[in-house]
Protein backbone atom coordinates (compact mmCIF):
# COMPACT_ATOMS: atom_id res chain seq x y z
CA UNK A 1 0.00 0.00 0.00
CA UNK A 2 2.74 2.45 1.08
CA UNK A 3 6.46 2.17 0.42
CA UNK A 4 7.43 4.59 3.16
CA UNK A 5 5.81 5.71 6.38
CA UNK A 6 6.92 9.04 7.79
CA UNK A 7 6.20 10.17 11.32
CA UNK A 8 5.83 13.96 11.54
CA UNK A 9 4.95 16.59 8.93
CA UNK A 10 7.49 19.29 9.85
CA UNK A 11 10.32 20.18 7.49
CA UNK A 12 12.16 16.90 8.12
CA UNK A 13 9.16 14.70 7.30
CA UNK A 14 7.66 16.80 4.53
CA UNK A 15 10.84 17.40 2.54
CA UNK A 16 11.78 13.75 2.53
CA UNK A 17 8.20 12.78 1.62
CA UNK A 18 8.31 15.16 -1.36
CA UNK A 19 11.63 13.72 -2.56
CA UNK A 20 10.44 10.13 -2.31
CA UNK A 21 7.12 10.89 -4.00
CA UNK A 22 8.51 13.06 -6.80
CA UNK A 23 11.90 11.55 -7.47
CA UNK A 24 11.20 7.87 -6.81
CA UNK A 25 7.49 7.83 -7.59
CA UNK A 26 6.91 5.80 -4.43
CA UNK A 27 3.95 5.98 -2.11
CA UNK A 28 4.29 7.72 1.23
CA UNK A 29 2.08 7.94 4.28
CA UNK A 30 2.76 10.77 6.72
CA UNK A 31 1.36 10.33 10.21
CA UNK A 32 1.06 13.56 12.17
CA UNK A 33 0.04 13.89 15.78
CA UNK A 34 -1.22 17.46 15.50
CA UNK A 35 -4.35 18.57 13.68
CA UNK A 36 -2.26 20.28 11.02
CA UNK A 37 0.84 19.93 8.85
CA UNK A 38 4.02 22.06 8.93
CA UNK A 39 5.37 21.17 12.38
CA UNK A 40 6.62 24.12 14.36
CA UNK A 41 6.70 26.26 11.22
CA UNK A 42 2.88 26.20 11.08
CA UNK A 43 1.27 29.63 10.60
CA UNK A 44 -2.32 30.81 10.28
CA UNK A 45 -4.46 33.93 10.07
CA UNK A 46 -5.87 34.94 13.45
CA UNK A 47 -9.23 36.59 14.10
CA UNK A 48 -7.76 40.02 13.46
CA UNK A 49 -6.69 38.79 10.00
CA UNK A 50 -2.99 38.82 10.84
CA UNK A 51 -0.73 35.99 9.75
CA UNK A 52 0.91 34.67 12.92
CA UNK A 53 3.44 31.90 13.55
CA UNK A 54 1.58 29.69 15.99
CA UNK A 55 4.73 28.10 17.44
CA UNK A 56 6.84 31.24 17.68
CA UNK A 57 8.57 33.50 15.18
CA UNK A 58 10.19 31.72 12.25
CA UNK A 59 12.60 33.51 9.95
CA UNK A 60 14.13 31.49 7.18
CA UNK A 61 17.85 32.10 6.70
CA UNK A 62 20.57 30.03 5.12
CA UNK A 63 23.98 30.07 3.51
CA UNK A 64 23.14 26.90 1.61
CA UNK A 65 22.10 27.69 -1.97
CA UNK A 66 20.80 24.16 -2.53
CA UNK A 67 18.33 24.57 0.36
CA UNK A 68 17.16 27.99 -0.80
CA UNK A 69 16.73 26.73 -4.38
CA UNK A 70 14.87 23.67 -3.15
CA UNK A 71 12.29 25.72 -1.21
CA UNK A 72 12.04 28.31 -3.97
CA UNK A 73 10.45 25.66 -6.19
CA UNK A 74 7.44 25.86 -3.87
CA UNK A 75 7.30 29.51 -2.83
CA UNK A 76 8.18 33.10 -3.61
CA UNK A 77 9.66 35.11 -0.79
CA UNK A 78 9.26 38.26 1.21
CA UNK A 79 12.87 39.29 1.33
CA UNK A 80 13.19 40.09 5.01
CA UNK A 81 16.32 40.72 7.07
CA UNK A 82 15.48 40.15 10.71
CA UNK A 83 16.48 42.80 13.25
CA UNK A 84 16.42 42.44 17.00
CA UNK A 85 16.81 45.10 19.67
CA UNK A 86 17.65 44.30 23.28
CA UNK A 87 16.56 46.48 26.19
CA UNK A 88 19.64 47.23 28.27
CA UNK A 89 19.47 49.73 31.10
CA UNK A 90 16.48 51.33 29.41
CA UNK A 91 18.17 51.69 26.01
CA UNK A 92 17.17 49.60 22.99
CA UNK A 93 20.32 48.44 21.22
CA UNK A 94 21.00 46.01 18.36
CA UNK A 95 21.34 42.30 19.18
CA UNK A 96 23.75 40.65 18.39
CA UNK A 97 25.62 43.23 20.41
CA UNK A 98 27.69 45.22 17.86
CA UNK A 99 29.52 48.51 17.50
CA UNK A 100 26.23 50.41 17.31
CA UNK A 101 25.15 48.73 20.56
CA UNK A 102 28.40 49.87 22.14
CA UNK A 103 27.56 53.50 21.37
CA UNK A 104 24.00 52.91 22.59
CA UNK A 105 25.05 51.90 26.10
CA UNK A 106 28.34 53.76 26.74
CA UNK A 107 29.30 57.45 26.50
CA UNK A 108 30.96 58.23 23.19
CA UNK A 109 34.50 58.55 24.59
CA UNK A 110 34.38 55.10 26.23
CA UNK A 111 32.60 53.49 23.29
CA UNK A 112 35.20 54.73 20.82
CA UNK A 113 38.07 53.46 22.98
CA UNK A 114 36.41 50.03 23.22
CA UNK A 115 35.65 50.02 19.52
CA UNK A 116 39.26 50.71 18.69
CA UNK A 117 40.44 47.95 21.05
CA UNK A 118 38.00 45.43 19.66
CA UNK A 119 39.05 46.12 16.09
CA UNK A 120 42.73 46.10 16.96
CA UNK A 121 42.45 42.79 18.83
CA UNK A 122 40.09 40.90 16.54
CA UNK A 123 39.60 42.84 13.29
CA UNK A 124 36.44 44.24 11.69
CA UNK A 125 33.43 42.16 10.61
CA UNK A 126 34.38 39.46 13.10
CA UNK A 127 32.03 37.48 15.37
CA UNK A 128 33.15 36.39 18.83
CA UNK A 129 31.12 34.17 21.14
CA UNK A 130 30.57 35.89 24.48
CA UNK A 131 32.20 33.05 26.43
CA UNK A 132 35.32 33.53 24.29
CA UNK A 133 35.34 37.32 24.70
CA UNK A 134 35.15 36.78 28.45
CA UNK A 135 38.58 35.14 28.27
CA UNK A 136 40.16 38.44 27.13
CA UNK A 137 43.28 39.41 29.03
CA UNK A 138 43.01 43.06 28.14
CA UNK A 139 41.38 44.82 31.11
CA UNK A 140 39.05 47.00 29.04
CA UNK A 141 37.89 44.14 26.84
CA UNK A 142 37.32 41.97 29.89
CA UNK A 143 35.24 44.78 31.39
CA UNK A 144 33.22 44.98 28.16
CA UNK A 145 32.78 41.20 27.99
CA UNK A 146 31.56 41.07 31.59
CA UNK A 147 29.15 43.93 30.88
CA UNK A 148 27.66 42.20 27.81
CA UNK A 149 27.56 38.88 29.62
CA UNK A 150 25.65 40.38 32.57
CA UNK A 151 23.33 42.61 30.59
CA UNK A 152 22.59 40.54 27.49
CA UNK A 153 23.25 36.88 28.21
CA UNK A 154 23.03 35.92 31.85
CA UNK A 155 19.42 36.69 32.69
CA UNK A 156 18.04 35.90 29.23
CA UNK A 157 19.71 32.49 29.36
CA UNK A 158 18.46 31.86 32.90
CA UNK A 159 14.93 32.66 31.73
CA UNK A 160 15.18 30.68 28.50
CA UNK A 161 16.97 27.57 29.79
CA UNK A 162 16.85 27.69 33.56
CA UNK A 163 20.65 27.45 33.31
CA UNK A 164 23.64 29.77 33.15
CA UNK A 165 25.48 30.15 29.82
CA UNK A 166 28.43 28.05 31.11
CA UNK A 167 26.12 25.12 31.85
CA UNK A 168 25.06 24.83 28.22
CA UNK A 169 27.10 23.79 25.23
CA UNK A 170 29.05 26.89 24.09
CA UNK A 171 27.32 26.71 20.70
CA UNK A 172 24.02 27.84 22.29
CA UNK A 173 25.10 31.37 23.26
CA UNK A 174 27.52 31.17 20.32
CA UNK A 175 24.45 31.49 18.06
CA UNK A 176 24.33 35.18 18.98
CA UNK A 177 27.99 36.27 19.05
CA UNK A 178 29.30 39.74 19.76
CA UNK A 179 29.67 41.21 16.28
CA UNK A 180 32.42 43.71 15.52
CA UNK A 181 30.45 45.47 12.83
CA UNK A 182 27.81 48.10 12.21
CA UNK A 183 25.54 45.54 10.54
CA UNK A 184 22.38 45.49 12.66
CA UNK A 185 20.87 42.36 11.13
CA UNK A 186 20.35 39.27 13.29
CA UNK A 187 21.65 36.95 10.56
CA UNK A 188 24.27 37.58 7.90
CA UNK A 189 23.27 34.63 5.70
CA UNK A 190 23.06 35.31 1.99
CA UNK A 191 19.50 33.99 1.69
CA UNK A 192 16.89 35.31 4.12
CA UNK A 193 13.15 35.77 4.10
CA UNK A 194 9.73 34.42 4.89
CA UNK A 195 7.56 32.49 2.41
CA UNK A 196 5.38 34.97 0.53
CA UNK A 197 2.11 33.19 1.33
CA UNK A 198 3.23 31.79 4.66
CA UNK A 199 4.81 28.52 5.81
CA UNK A 200 1.63 26.47 5.83
CA UNK A 201 1.02 27.37 2.21
CA UNK A 202 4.61 26.34 1.44
CA UNK A 203 4.02 22.95 3.09
CA UNK A 204 0.78 22.48 1.17
CA UNK A 205 2.78 22.93 -2.03
CA UNK A 206 5.54 20.59 -0.89
CA UNK A 207 3.01 17.88 -0.05
CA UNK A 208 0.78 18.38 -3.10
CA UNK A 209 1.48 15.04 -4.74
CA UNK A 210 -0.78 12.08 -5.38
CA UNK A 211 1.85 9.74 -3.95
CA UNK A 212 1.62 11.44 -0.54
CA UNK A 213 -1.18 10.85 1.95
CA UNK A 214 -1.25 12.71 5.26
CA UNK A 215 -3.04 11.40 8.32
CA UNK A 216 -3.29 14.12 10.96
CA UNK A 217 -4.49 13.95 14.55
CA UNK A 218 -2.83 10.57 15.02
CA UNK A 219 0.06 9.55 17.23
CA UNK A 220 1.96 6.95 15.20
CA UNK A 221 1.87 4.54 18.13
CA UNK A 222 -1.90 4.24 17.65
CA UNK A 223 -1.39 2.43 14.34
CA UNK A 224 2.22 1.31 14.27
CA UNK A 225 4.08 -1.21 16.39
CA UNK A 226 7.80 -1.54 16.19
CA UNK A 227 9.70 -4.37 17.78
CA UNK A 228 12.99 -2.64 18.46
CA UNK A 229 14.73 -6.00 19.01
CA UNK A 230 13.79 -7.61 15.68
CA UNK A 231 13.18 -4.36 13.68
CA UNK A 232 9.77 -5.67 12.69
CA UNK A 233 7.30 -2.90 11.86
CA UNK A 234 3.57 -3.59 12.01
CA UNK A 235 1.16 -1.13 10.42
CA UNK A 236 -2.51 -1.56 11.43
CA UNK A 237 -1.58 -5.07 12.60
CA UNK A 238 0.00 -6.09 9.27
CA UNK A 239 3.70 -6.52 8.68
CA UNK A 240 5.13 -3.48 6.93
CA UNK A 241 8.11 -4.18 4.70
CA UNK A 242 8.90 -0.61 3.73
CA UNK A 243 10.97 1.93 5.59
CA UNK A 244 10.02 4.26 8.38
CA UNK A 245 11.27 7.82 8.61
CA UNK A 246 10.90 9.08 12.13
CA UNK A 247 10.97 12.79 13.03
CA UNK A 248 9.41 12.68 16.52
CA UNK A 249 11.33 12.59 19.82
CA UNK A 250 13.90 9.79 19.91
CA UNK A 251 13.33 8.96 23.60
CA UNK A 252 9.59 8.50 22.99
CA UNK A 253 10.36 6.11 20.12
CA UNK A 254 12.28 3.86 22.54
CA UNK A 255 9.64 4.21 25.28
CA UNK A 256 12.01 6.31 27.43
CA UNK A 257 14.13 3.21 28.00
CA UNK A 258 17.11 5.31 29.10
CA UNK A 259 15.03 8.08 30.65
CA UNK A 260 13.63 11.30 29.28
CA UNK A 261 15.74 13.70 27.27
CA UNK A 262 14.98 17.11 28.77
CA UNK A 263 13.64 19.95 26.64
CA UNK A 264 12.56 23.52 27.18
CA UNK A 265 9.03 24.34 26.24
CA UNK A 266 7.55 27.78 25.57
CA UNK A 267 4.22 29.25 26.51
CA UNK A 268 3.35 31.63 23.67
CA UNK A 269 1.04 34.49 24.65
CA UNK A 270 -0.45 36.22 21.62
CA UNK A 271 -2.11 39.65 21.70
CA UNK A 272 -3.84 41.75 19.08
CA UNK A 273 -2.86 45.38 18.93
CA UNK A 274 -5.41 48.01 17.92
CA UNK A 275 -2.89 49.96 15.89
CA UNK A 276 -0.87 49.38 12.74
CA UNK A 277 2.50 49.12 14.45
CA UNK A 278 3.69 48.06 17.89
CA UNK A 279 7.51 48.13 17.90
CA UNK A 280 10.40 49.34 15.73
CA UNK A 281 11.72 45.95 14.62
CA UNK A 282 10.58 42.31 14.33
CA UNK A 283 11.75 41.25 17.77
CA UNK A 284 12.64 43.06 20.99
CA UNK A 285 14.53 41.03 23.60
CA UNK A 286 14.11 41.72 27.31
CA UNK A 287 17.11 40.06 28.95
CA UNK A 288 16.65 41.72 32.33
CA UNK A 289 13.01 42.76 32.63
CA UNK A 290 9.77 40.77 32.79
CA UNK A 291 9.27 37.00 32.85
CA UNK A 292 9.17 36.64 29.08
CA UNK A 293 12.30 36.63 26.93
CA UNK A 294 11.14 38.50 23.84
CA UNK A 295 8.26 40.12 21.96
CA UNK A 296 7.83 39.58 18.23
CA UNK A 297 5.53 41.58 15.99
CA UNK A 298 4.61 39.38 13.04
CA UNK A 299 3.93 42.04 10.42
CA UNK A 300 7.63 42.90 10.29
CA UNK A 301 8.42 39.29 9.40
CA UNK A 302 5.64 38.67 6.92
CA UNK A 303 5.45 42.12 5.30
CA UNK A 304 1.67 42.09 5.77
CA UNK A 305 -0.09 45.46 5.54
CA UNK A 306 -3.00 45.95 7.94
CA UNK A 307 -4.44 48.61 10.25
CA UNK A 308 -4.09 46.18 13.18
CA UNK A 309 -1.12 44.18 14.43
CA UNK A 310 -0.36 41.05 16.48
CA UNK A 311 2.49 40.23 18.81
CA UNK A 312 3.67 37.21 20.76
CA UNK A 313 5.48 37.07 24.10
CA UNK A 314 7.54 33.95 24.88
CA UNK A 315 7.55 32.49 28.39
CA UNK A 316 10.00 29.62 28.65
CA UNK A 317 9.11 26.63 30.86
CA UNK A 318 10.19 23.10 31.73
CA UNK A 319 8.94 20.48 29.28
CA UNK A 320 6.65 17.85 30.75
CA UNK A 321 5.68 14.98 28.37
CA UNK A 322 1.95 14.94 27.75
CA UNK A 323 1.52 18.44 29.15
CA UNK A 324 3.35 20.84 26.83
CA UNK A 325 5.48 20.72 23.66
CA UNK A 326 9.18 19.84 23.42
CA UNK A 327 10.66 22.81 21.55
CA UNK A 328 14.32 23.15 22.48
CA UNK A 329 16.73 20.27 23.08
CA UNK A 330 19.02 21.25 25.95
CA UNK A 331 22.58 20.84 24.77
CA UNK A 332 24.94 19.88 27.56
CA UNK A 333 27.20 16.99 28.52
CA UNK A 334 24.70 15.14 30.71
CA UNK A 335 22.05 15.07 27.99
CA UNK A 336 24.59 14.14 25.36
CA UNK A 337 25.35 10.98 27.39
CA UNK A 338 21.66 9.96 27.32
CA UNK A 339 21.43 10.81 23.63
CA UNK A 340 24.45 8.61 22.84
CA UNK A 341 22.60 5.58 24.24
CA UNK A 342 19.47 6.26 22.18
CA UNK A 343 21.56 6.84 19.08
CA UNK A 344 23.30 3.56 19.50
CA UNK A 345 19.90 1.80 19.66
CA UNK A 346 18.71 3.70 16.59
CA UNK A 347 21.71 2.54 14.57
CA UNK A 348 20.62 -1.06 15.05
CA UNK A 349 17.41 -0.41 13.12
CA UNK A 350 18.33 -0.25 9.46
CA UNK A 351 14.71 0.12 8.34
CA UNK A 352 14.23 3.35 10.30
CA UNK A 353 15.84 6.76 9.59
CA UNK A 354 15.84 9.34 12.40
CA UNK A 355 15.83 12.93 11.12
CA UNK A 356 15.12 16.36 12.60
CA UNK A 357 15.23 18.44 15.75
CA UNK A 358 13.42 15.91 17.92
CA UNK A 359 14.66 12.66 16.40
CA UNK A 360 18.29 13.76 16.52
CA UNK A 361 17.90 15.96 19.61
CA UNK A 362 19.76 18.77 17.83
CA UNK A 363 19.21 22.52 18.07
CA UNK A 364 18.66 22.71 14.31
CA UNK A 365 17.39 25.71 12.41
CA UNK A 366 15.01 25.05 9.53
CA UNK A 367 17.71 25.14 6.87
CA UNK A 368 19.81 22.55 8.71
CA UNK A 369 16.82 20.19 8.92
CA UNK A 370 16.10 20.59 5.21
CA UNK A 371 19.77 20.07 4.32
CA UNK A 372 19.78 16.93 6.46
CA UNK A 373 16.58 15.57 4.88
CA UNK A 374 17.97 16.16 1.38
CA UNK A 375 21.23 14.47 2.35
CA UNK A 376 19.52 11.41 3.84
CA UNK A 377 17.41 11.14 0.71
CA UNK A 378 20.43 11.39 -1.63
CA UNK A 379 22.85 9.30 0.39
CA UNK A 380 20.68 6.67 2.01
CA UNK A 381 17.31 6.39 0.34
CA UNK A 382 18.29 6.67 -3.32
CA UNK A 383 21.45 4.63 -2.85
CA UNK A 384 19.78 1.82 -0.95
CA UNK A 385 17.64 1.35 -4.07
CA UNK A 386 14.50 0.72 -2.09
P1 LIG B 1 9.08 19.76 13.87
O2 LIG B 1 8.76 20.99 13.11
O3 LIG B 1 8.95 19.78 15.35
O4 LIG B 1 8.18 18.59 13.28
C5 LIG B 1 8.04 17.34 13.94
C6 LIG B 1 6.61 16.89 13.76
O7 LIG B 1 6.47 15.56 14.30
C8 LIG B 1 5.63 17.77 14.52
O9 LIG B 1 4.62 18.23 13.65
C10 LIG B 1 5.06 16.85 15.60
O11 LIG B 1 3.70 17.11 15.90
C12 LIG B 1 5.21 15.48 14.94
N13 LIG B 1 5.25 14.39 15.92
C14 LIG B 1 5.98 14.34 17.05
N15 LIG B 1 5.72 13.20 17.72
C16 LIG B 1 4.81 12.51 16.98
C17 LIG B 1 4.15 11.28 17.15
N18 LIG B 1 4.35 10.53 18.24
N19 LIG B 1 3.28 10.86 16.18
C20 LIG B 1 3.03 11.63 15.09
N21 LIG B 1 3.63 12.83 14.89
C22 LIG B 1 4.52 13.27 15.82
N23 LIG B 1 14.38 27.88 12.77
C24 LIG B 1 14.81 28.81 11.86
O25 LIG B 1 15.47 28.44 10.88
N26 LIG B 1 14.49 30.14 12.00
C27 LIG B 1 13.76 30.59 13.04
O28 LIG B 1 13.50 31.79 13.14
C29 LIG B 1 13.30 29.65 14.01
N30 LIG B 1 12.59 30.07 15.08
C31 LIG B 1 12.14 29.16 15.98
C32 LIG B 1 11.42 29.63 17.08
C33 LIG B 1 10.95 28.73 18.03
C34 LIG B 1 10.18 29.25 19.20
C35 LIG B 1 11.24 27.34 17.88
C36 LIG B 1 10.76 26.36 18.90
C37 LIG B 1 11.97 26.88 16.81
C38 LIG B 1 12.43 27.78 15.85
N39 LIG B 1 13.17 27.36 14.74
C40 LIG B 1 13.63 28.28 13.82
C41 LIG B 1 13.51 25.94 14.55
C42 LIG B 1 12.51 25.21 13.66
O43 LIG B 1 11.24 25.22 14.29
C44 LIG B 1 12.99 23.77 13.47
O45 LIG B 1 14.26 23.76 12.87
C46 LIG B 1 12.08 22.94 12.59
O47 LIG B 1 10.72 23.09 12.93
C48 LIG B 1 12.45 21.48 12.75
O49 LIG B 1 11.70 20.69 11.88
P50 LIG B 1 11.44 19.18 12.27
O51 LIG B 1 10.68 18.60 11.14
O52 LIG B 1 12.70 18.53 12.70
O53 LIG B 1 10.55 19.25 13.60
N1 LIG C 1 20.77 34.89 24.05
C2 LIG C 1 20.84 35.74 25.14
N3 LIG C 1 20.38 37.02 25.01
C4 LIG C 1 19.85 37.48 23.86
C5 LIG C 1 19.77 36.62 22.76
C6 LIG C 1 20.22 35.31 22.89
O7 LIG C 1 21.27 35.34 26.20
O8 LIG C 1 19.44 38.66 23.80
C9 LIG C 1 21.27 33.50 24.23
C10 LIG C 1 20.21 32.62 24.92
O11 LIG C 1 20.87 31.65 25.68
C12 LIG C 1 19.49 32.04 23.72
C13 LIG C 1 20.68 31.76 22.80
O14 LIG C 1 21.53 32.91 22.98
O15 LIG C 1 18.77 30.88 24.05
C16 LIG C 1 20.33 31.58 21.35
O17 LIG C 1 19.55 32.69 20.92
P18 LIG C 1 18.63 32.60 19.62
O19 LIG C 1 18.07 33.95 19.39
O20 LIG C 1 19.41 31.98 18.52
O21 LIG C 1 17.49 31.61 20.11
P22 LIG C 1 16.21 31.04 19.37
O23 LIG C 1 15.81 32.07 18.33
O24 LIG C 1 16.61 29.74 18.80
O25 LIG C 1 15.23 30.94 20.49
**Regions of the chain where pLDDT drops below 70:** 385-386
All structural domains of the chain with their residue ranges: 4-37+207-262+330-382, 93-180, 263-318
Is 351 in contact with 244 (CB distance < 8 Å)? yes
In degrees, rounded to 5, the angle at the alpha carbon of residue 276 between the alpha carbons of residues 271 and 277 is 75
> For residue 153, how far is its CA from the centre of ligand 2 (angstroms)?
8
Whole-number Cα distances in Å, 92 to 65, 278, 329, 363: 34, 14, 29, 28
Architecture of the CATH domain 4-37+207-262+330-382 = 3-Layer(aba) Sandwich (3.40)
Whole-number Cα distances in Å, 19 to 171, 258, 309, 339, 354: 31, 33, 37, 28, 16
Please state whether 200 falls in left (phi above 0), alpha (psi between -120 and 50) or beta: alpha
So what's the pLDDT on residue 318? Answer: 97
Say how far apart CA 327 and CA 336 lie, in whole Å: 17
Identify the CA nearest to 17 among candidates 312, 377, 349. Answer: 377
Please state the pTM of the whole predicted model: 0.97
Q: Is the CB of 150 under 6 A from ligand 2?
A: no
Q: What is the pLDDT of residues 101-118, one digit of tens each?
A: 999 999 999 999 999 999
So what's the pLDDT on residue 383? Answer: 78
Say how far apart CA 335 and CA 340 lie, in whole Å: 9
DSSP class of 373: H
Q: What is the pLDDT of residues 251-288, one digit of tens each?
A: 999 999 999 999 999 999 999 999 999 999 999 999 99
Say how far apart CA 335 and CA 169 lie, in whole Å: 10
Q: Which of 59, 94, 176, 186 most suits a substitution to test ligand 2, by most atoms within 8 Å of the C-beta?
A: 176
Amino acid sequence: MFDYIIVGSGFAGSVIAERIANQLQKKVLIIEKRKHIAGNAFDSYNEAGILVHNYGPHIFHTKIKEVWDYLSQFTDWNIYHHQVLGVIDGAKVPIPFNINSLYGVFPKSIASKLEEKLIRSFGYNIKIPILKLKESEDEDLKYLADFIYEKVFLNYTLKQWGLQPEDLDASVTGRVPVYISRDNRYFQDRYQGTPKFGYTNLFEKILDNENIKVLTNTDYKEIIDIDTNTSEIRFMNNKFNGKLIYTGPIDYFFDYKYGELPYRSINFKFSDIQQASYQEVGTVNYPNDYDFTRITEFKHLTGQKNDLSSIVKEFSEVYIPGVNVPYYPIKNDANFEILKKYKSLSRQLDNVHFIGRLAEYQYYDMDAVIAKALRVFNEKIIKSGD
